[in-house]
Amino acid sequence: MSATRDGKMWRCQFYYKDWQGMSHKKNKRGFKTKAEAEQWERDFLQQQQRNLDINFENFVQIYYEDMEHRLRENTMRTKKFIIDLKIIPYFKKKNMNEIKASDIRAWQNALMKKGYSETYLKTLNNQLSAIFNYAVRYYDLKDNPCRKAGSIGKSHAGEKEFWTKQEFKQFLVTVENKPETKMAFLLLYWTGMRIGELLAITYNDIDLEKRTISVNKSYQRIEGRDIITPPKTPKSKRIITIPPFLTEELKEYISHLYGIMADERMFRFTKSYMEHEIIRGIKASGVKRIRLHDIRHSHASLLVEMGFTPLAIAERLGHEKIETTSNTYSHLYPNKQGELADKLEMENSREEEE
């Protein structure tokens, strides 16, 4: 080891070869103890080996380094939070090529004892499985032990909560004196946009003559920074047609936006502001409590009630797969199936009478 004193602290200096065989010098300062400096050097050199004779914690760092170039910043932050908090502490020092299905089962059992929700358990399991899938695909791990261990949790937490038209109108009264907030909620309810898509809308994205809104980006506030990214998936890029009454509301709202630039965000607040407003409005109006994202479900539920097919709803919501729409709102379709059967009965009776 090459740890040396650096004033009151410690540093490590050493040479290593990268994945192309090129030699480099590494100099890392700021360690409180010699042991910390030596451990950092060991971990760094192990990560450079790029094989599976490496502990789980160090392999995850390799995984992070790769994924950071391929995932959106907020997605990566969420992934890191889950893995660092709930997965690394358990598998930390186990070597990747030594983790077995029985180890995964033990970890799963420990999680289930904690009383987490079914959807959270599913998320945790999926994140661990993604790490092993990465090792299988790019580092020749023989198989993914998570597959042998089986899954835990559920993808969907039962039926989605949503507002009816009457409940939404009741809520809307509470933001009547806040034109910007009111317009934002109107668009969420009557278009089914994601909150990030709504907050990224500019004047350029709206065509009042054609009554359309172009969804082509998403907005997030991350650590005090305004971030504009592409929307969630390729299918999320879409053009949403809006009804005449909503076009008039939008036209009236835009007429009061003095000095707004064509490429400037129309709604200048953040998701946290909208979350605060929906909580305040729910208390003031007495409607049932739902999450901000459930307004999107409310729009989808309205479309189901109106008789639209899963394909039409998937296109409007920007779902990547029609299965997402069918699975998410399957509990709403039995009523429609009943109506369909009744109409077939009426058609059959009419033919018999003729």
Residue-wise pLDDT tens digits, 8-59: 898 888 877 765 667 878 888 888 898 888 887 777 776 766 667 788 998 9
Check which CATH number belongs to the domain holding 232 and give it. 1.10.443.10
Residue 158 lies in a domain: no
Please write the tens of the pLDDT for every residue from 154-177: 876 656 789 999 999 999 999 999
The single residue listed with the structure tokens 């559920």 is 154
Query: Quick one: 169 and 111 in the same domain?
Result: no
The single residue listed with the structure tokens 């949503």 is 162
Query: Quick one: 130 and 177 in the same domain?
Result: no
Cα 49 to the center of its chain, rounded Å:
33
Query: Quick one: 203 and 65 in the same domain?
Result: no
Please write the tens of the pLDDT for every residue from 306-340: 888 888 999 999 988 887 777 777 666 555 555 65
Q: Cα–Cα distances in Å, from 17 out to 11, 21, 27, 229?
A: 20, 5, 14, 36
Query: Quick one: 106 and 218 in the same domain?
Result: no
Tell me which residue range forms the domain holding 217. 165-335
Residue 245 lies in a domain: yes
Please write the tens of the pLDDT for every residue from 124-138: 999 999 999 999 998
> What is the Cα Rg of the chain in Å?
27
Query: Quick one: 145 and 217 in the same domain?
Result: no
Check which CATH number belongs to the domain holding 17 and give it. 1.10.150.130
Burial, 143: exposed, middle or buried (Cβ in 10 Å; 0-12, 13-18, 19+)?
A: exposed
SS (H, E, C) 167-180: HHHHHHHHHCCCHH
